[in-house]
Amino acid sequence: MNALQRLGLLAALAMPMAVFAVPAVQVARLQMPAWVQHANGSRQALTPATVLKAGDLLQTGTGGRVELLLSEGSTVKLGEQAQFKVSSVVAAEENQGLFAASLDVLKGAFRFTTSSSQKLARRDVSIRVATVTAGIRGTDLWGKSDEGRDLVCLIEGKIGVSHTGGASATLDQPLQFYVANRGSQPEPVSYVDRNKLETDWAPQTETQSGRGVAVVRGDWSLYLAAYPKKAVAQALVSTLDEAGIPAVVQQRKFKGRAVYLVSVPDFDSESDANAAASLVLGVVPELQPKAGLR
């Protein structure tokens, strides 16, 4: 093998590493409606596999849920009517093996969970829940910010929490929680009943199967309409996009002529696609949505 051939082989081996690099923060699954607003001010309906960057703001609507994957091995789940900002993020491969991120829960419920196989990964992650900040080192916690209070609950692991007023504490026992009522200093660390955590708090951040869940490369689509003019199809996509529904346009052939098919892709199941139809009809009542395999 000559030098030129060796260079070609090295380039070919290097290509998959670049193509398949894991994004620092990526959407894994969602329940519509949900949006992402980028740092430049543009706003669009959120889709599975969306890669988030520093400055991006996620918003969920009524009934909305989002699950994010972090490249260091953790997941972040958001409940309905949530606002979540990626204030800063640096992937481990860009930071000498240390994943670093600052995440802001401006409103709503969230859950941060590190998989057991990734707890030893190097990370420097902080989550600010309005007035309360938690430092993460590989753990499982749930929290929420609403008009009345900011709360962080430890499910497993150990976290340090602090309040903008200066008070701080360490949570190192399961079911401990730290809460600050709006306009007040934090209360003493308390314990939540496990049944309340499992039946009231935790479900607020879980996607609900059969209720319009979309995933990366989902098998089912919701087909909405076909138009002879692309501009008409794009207008429908724009209307749905504003409502937090990520529709797409595909060109197809029908009786030898081009038509433009509008659909919402990537549903996890037929029931999820059908459930999303009611959301679509709430925006454009004259449509006749039909679920089908991709």
Residue 12 confidence (pLDDT): 46
Rounded CA separation 97/257 (Å): 54
Rounded CA separation 105/132 (Å): 10
Bridge partners of 257?
254
Q: Scan for tokens 């079911």, then name that residue.
A: 175
For the chain, residues with pLDDT lower than 50 are: 3-19
Residue 2 confidence (pLDDT): 53
Q: Which residues lie closer than 8 Å to 112 by C-beta, 6 or more apart?
A: 74, 75, 76, 125, 127, 136, 139, 140, 141
| CA torsion angle 29 35 37 42 (round to 10) | 120
Amino acid at 145: S
**Encoded tokens for 89:** 């993020």
Residue 1 confidence (pLDDT): 52
Residue 119 confidence (pLDDT): 64
Instruction: Name all domains of the chain by residue range, CATH numbers in brackets.
Output: 22-205 (2.60.120.1440), 213-293 (3.30.70.1070)
The DSSP letter of residue 219 is: S
Q: Hey, how many other C-beta atoms are within 10 angstroms of the C-beta on 203?
A: 12
Question: CB–CB of 118/97 below 8 Å?
Answer: no
Residue 97 confidence (pLDDT): 86
Residue 137 confidence (pLDDT): 76
Rounded CA separation 248/254 (Å): 18
**Encoded tokens for 71:** 């490249």
Bridge partners of 89?
101
